[in-house]
Amino acid sequence: MSVSAVIVAAGSGERLGQDRPKALVEVGGEPMVRHAALRLLAGGADELVVVHPARLSLEFARVLDDLVGVTLVVGGATRTGSVRAGVAASDSDAELIAIHDAARPFIPSKCVRMAIASVAGQAIAAAPALPVADTLKRPTPEGRIRTVDRADLWAVQTPQVVRADVYRAVLDWAPGEHTTDDLGLVESAIDAGVVEGKIVLVPGDPRALKITYPRDLMMAEAVLAAERARRG
């Protein structure tokens, strides 16, 4: 099935606190957006739409210019706005759309392939996810602390892969919705009876960590160094 991948990279990376947007920050000598692009292509994406901040087209073009099948578009003020811009620019013949955060540069291509395979099979949407490892607490309005059972909780990563016809219908149905999670929109649309079908979670990978704070860069460098050492 043909897959259009949308990499959302239009955030400013405020919490990382560098002099440029997060997607252009280098890990192991290469910008995060390039790491992410290579892994999505290796995982089965037929084209890539990279959504970037306004006025940075040249910088993004420069770091991706040797890759085939890449389109650049300017993003919106929120992640959802950027997702919409990317989906609008993606190939209208693509059967699946895979939305990926540039902030997760080291997604193993195996995870990408598994999410794609699930949607090419039975599901209408799929994403990699990991079991939650931390013990979770919820303070109550009365000032008590409650332990949340983590046994059935999953932390979701990207790419979030959705059947293209389903996702276009969902975005039309929820024109103003802002969410950090694309599957969340599909879940609401299923509940509202707008679309039908099943969402599945496939095994995620700790290497697909999301880079948010400066400390995450150390982890990212370590992930890359371990991969490079294994490859020799």
Residue 22 vs 207, nearer CB to ligand CTP: 22
Binding pattern to ligand CTP, positions 187-226, x when CB under 6 A?
A: -------------------------x--------------
d(CA 89, CA 108) in angstroms, rounded, equals 25
**64 touches ligand CTP by CB under 6 A:** no
Binding segment (CB under 5 A) for Mg ion, from list 3-11, 43-51, 98-106, 199-207: 3-11
Exactly one of 5, 40, 51, 96 binds ligand CTP (CB under 6 A); that residue is 51
Which DSSP category does 206 fall into?
G
Exactly one of 75, 108, 128, 159 binds ligand CTP (CB under 6 A); that residue is 75
Give per-residue burial for 204-232: e unless 16+ CB within 10 Å, then b: bbebbbebeeeebbeebeebbeeeeeeee
Alpha helices in the chain (DSSP H): 32-42, 57-64, 79-89, 109-120, 164-173, 182-191, 214-231
Binding pattern to ligand CTP, positions 102-141, x when CB under 6 A?
A: xx--------------------------------------
Exactly one of 4, 82, 118, 160 binds ligand CTP (CB under 6 A); that residue is 82
CA distances for 103 relative to 34, 90, 131, angstroms: 11, 20, 20
**15 touches ligand CTP by CB under 6 A:** yes
d(CA 8, CA 30) in angstroms, rounded, equals 17
Exactly one of 8, 48, 111, 190 binds ligand CTP (CB under 6 A); that residue is 8
Return left, alpha or beta for 143; rule: phi > 0 is left, psi -120 to 50 is alpha, else beta: left
Task: Provide, rounded to whole angstroms, the least separation between the CB of residue 11 and Mg ion.
Answer: 5
Calculate helix-pair angle for 109-120, 32-42, nearest 10 degrees: 50
8 touches which of ligand CTP, Mg ion, none (CB within 5 to 8 A by kind)?
ligand CTP
The size of the interface with Mg ion (CB under 5 A), counted in residues, is 1
Task: Provide, rounded to whole angstroms, the least separation between the CB of residue 200 and Mg ion.
Answer: 27
Cα dihedral 183, 189, 190, 191, rounded to 10, equals: 110
Most distant CA atoms of the chain, gap in Å: 58
Tokens of residue 80, six digits: 């959802």
Residue 75 vs 108, nearer CB to ligand CTP: 75
Considering only residues 4 through 23, tell me which ones interact with Mg ion, judged by CB under 5 A.
11
d(CA 5, CA 224) in angstroms, rounded, equals 22
Binding site for ligand CTP (CB under 6 A): 8-15, 22-23, 51, 75-79, 81-82, 101-103, 212
Binding site for Mg ion (CB under 5 A): 11
